[in-house]
Amino acid sequence: MRRLLIIGGVAAAGVLLASCATMSKDECLVGDWGQKGYDDGASGYPMTRLEEHAKACAKYQVMPNPNAYQSAREDGLRGYCTFQRGWTEGRAGNTYYGVCRPQEEAEFLPAYRDGRLLYDAVAAVESAQSALNSAISRIENREDKLEAKQAELRQSGLSDGERQKIRDRIQEVRGEIRDARRNARDADAALDMARREEDRVRYELSRRYPV
């Protein structure tokens, strides 16, 4: 589990850190590498974060101070690698980059895993609710379209060919409504299942955490 979390976290970090500068011009010029190291440690960033800072500051001809950064980062990590923080990070769905020492990780990681269980359960409910909302919206949209086509069919002056074309489209829309209603039933069942799972997870975790 730890290995998977670390691998996944490092991959995600590479994408996120490469997407934007991690330090502004003013931060680079001030050069408070101790504070930056502490903040990064308190946020659970890996040591590779310093490489991203170096890239961000290179355009301003500023080099980092690795010693000041690393020493302060260790101080920040002591506040991060705790049981309480593990729960908070997992509950928020944040990535763990494997930064805690073994003795600290023994406290941090179980709480982090539990937090992720609840995060995933809540996310599943939100996803199922979104799918149900989409299906309901599609039903309403197609019902409006069906009503419009039926009104169009009642117009006078239409040729037989035009009327047949409208009838064909009405049949298509009715089929789309049936599909959307079936999707809504499936989404409703999935939502019910997801809610039951969330309730189960909350109940199991309520003895150890404020859920």
Task: pLDDT band for 91, please (50, 70, 90 cuts).
Answer: very high
pLDDT digits (tens, 9 = 90+) for 125-145: 999 999 999 999 999 999 999
What pLDDT does residue 37 have?
97
Q: Rounded mean pLDDT of the chain?
A: 91
Q: Using CB atoms within 10 A of its CB, is residue 72 exposed (0-12), middle (13-18) or buried (19+)?
A: buried
Q: Would you state the structure tokens that stand for residue 67, as one six-digit string?
A: 């010693």
First to last CA, the chain: 23
pTM of the model: 0.76
How many residues are there in the chain? Answer: 211
Q: CA-to-CA distance for 91 and 122, rounded, in angstroms? A: 10
**Beta carbons of 118 and 89 less than 8 angstroms apart:** no
What pLDDT does residue 17 have?
40
Q: Where are the beta strands (DSSP E) in the chain?
A: none
DSSP 47: T
- Reported for 83-88, long-range contacts at CB under 8 A and 24+ positions apart, including other chains, are 83/107, 83/108, 83/110, 83/111, 84/111, 85/111, 86/110, 86/111, 86/112, 86/115, 87/111, 87/112, 87/114, 87/115, 87/209, 88/115
Q: Is the pLDDT at 66 greater than 80, yes or no?
A: yes
Q: Would you state the structure tokens that stand for residue 160, as one six-digit string?
A: 């037989």
